[in-house]
Amino acid sequence: MATSVCRAGSAASKALFKARSPTLLCLKRNRSAVSYAQTLQNIPETQLTTLDNGLRIASEESSQPTCTVGVWIGAGSRYENEKNNGSAFFLEHLLFKGTKKRPQAALEQEVESLGAHLNAYTSREQTAIYIKALSKDLPMAVEILADVVQNSSLEDSQIEKARQVMLRELQEIDSNQQEVAFDFLHATAYQGTALSRTVVGPSENAKKLTRADLVDYVNSHFKAPRMVLAAAGGINHKELCDLAQRHFSGLSYTYENDAVPLLTPCRFTGSEIRARDDALPLAHIAVAVEGPGWNSSDNVALLVANSIIGNYDVTYGGGKNLSSRLGRTSAEYNACQSYQTFNIRYSDTGLFGIHFATDKHNIEDMLHIAQGEWMRLCTSVTESEVARAKNVLKTALVNQLDGTTLVCEDIGRQILNYGQRIPLEEWNSRIDAVSAKTVQEVCSKYLYDKCPAVAGVGPIEQLPDYNRIRSAMYWLRF
């Protein structure tokens, strides 16, 4: 039957294109446009419930046979200090090493028997633990998740094994020049503040963190009001709330001596850091200005601006026909191997910038071209560029919600950052509201005549002096 449908569809399309009727083609395009708008409106609503202890439960129901459920926690390396930096990352390696109820072998066997996937990650402000399973196994998935979050055994033998794994990972990270460049960028941009520290922490801490340090971190930060139980897929919100009440109601919501950990402001400092290594084949350069935090309305315009500049890799096709001016120039003159724009956001600050990898002889040219594009965003970006970039951004937003795991992550992250989940239809409206004038005004606010933070790794002897980089952050206006 499916084959018959495909053949019928093929025959219909051939007939349509043979007719070459402008009316039919226009009708088809209009139907597509209406379909996209209706799709945005028909996305299931995100339901939100709060338990008595402050735990928030958020879910999006669909008819899929699988589901993803996870706990997003407002805790990460920004909540650490120099002594315990790396604790959250260390815990990530221990969460699946057994609980007081389930030894490691039993936990692994139980997850495997469900055909489920259990995973976790840590960032500077958030920690996430999630599981993907069949929808019918939601009760067991929530029970396992609650056990892992609340009852990790943190045995000394497992801590020592995780310590060795972490030290090997630190060596691997040190060989990834892009990650090193971004860590250096944070170190110089937020020097003297909590955001300057890496997520993984220094190797010295990995060698000396004890069980007491990890238990103290859990007791200080794994509190119900700072957690979101998020789920997406073939689930029922009421059932999820009942399961949360059964398994998470015992989560603590009080702090010893009312010592609630608060985020201290992290100041941005225009500065540079250079790690020269002439043995490396490519130089990795990251340049950023201070951007807004999560809740700023300027973020949408900045995302459109980044879409205008785009991303590029030497393996891409298109060459001089790329829509991005920076991409065309990079391809035509071999200015770099790759570049990526970014808008990294935190609670109260952010980093808006560009990272590129290039041969040592092209560093100055690539930096000059990239900063020139920034200044063009502030002064002369066109409506056609903005229209193209908005389409690219809309497509990216839709692609980021392809699958229950991505949807679940979007729910958990947004509830922590915004206190709600902003519907895709509203994001679409915010993007539509951006014009060339908006991009120019917002980019001028964050880019024009601002002091950047610069991080360079590799053969960077030809990286220009900081004052030259700073002087390229404005164009003289007559």
The residues annotated as belonging to the active site are 92
* Distance in angstroms (rounded) separating the CA atoms of residues 334 and 475: 26
The answer to whether the CB of 71 falls within 8 A of the CB of 229 is yes
Nearest to 473 by CA among 370, 325, 342, 371: 371
Tokens of 213: 């340090």
43 three-state secondary structure: coil
CA angle 284, 127, 82 (to 5 degrees): 65
Nearest to 455 by CA among 183, 172, 78, 124: 183
**Phi, psi values for residue 40, rounded to 5°:** -65, -40
User: First and final CA of the chain: distance in angstroms?
Assistant: 70
What is the biggest distance separating any 2 CA atoms in the chain, rounded to whole angstroms? 78
Structure tokens at 207: 């060698």
Task: Look up residue 187 and give its two tokens.
Answer: 């170190």
Helix, coil or strand: residue 22: helix
Cα 465 to Cα 71: distance, rounded to the nearest angstrom: 45
If one counts every other C-beta atom within 10 angstroms of the C-beta of residue 450, the result is: 17
DSSP secondary-structure letter at 433? T
Helices marked H in 404-461: 404-418, 424-432, 436-446
Confirm if 358 and 285 have CB atoms less than 8 A apart: yes
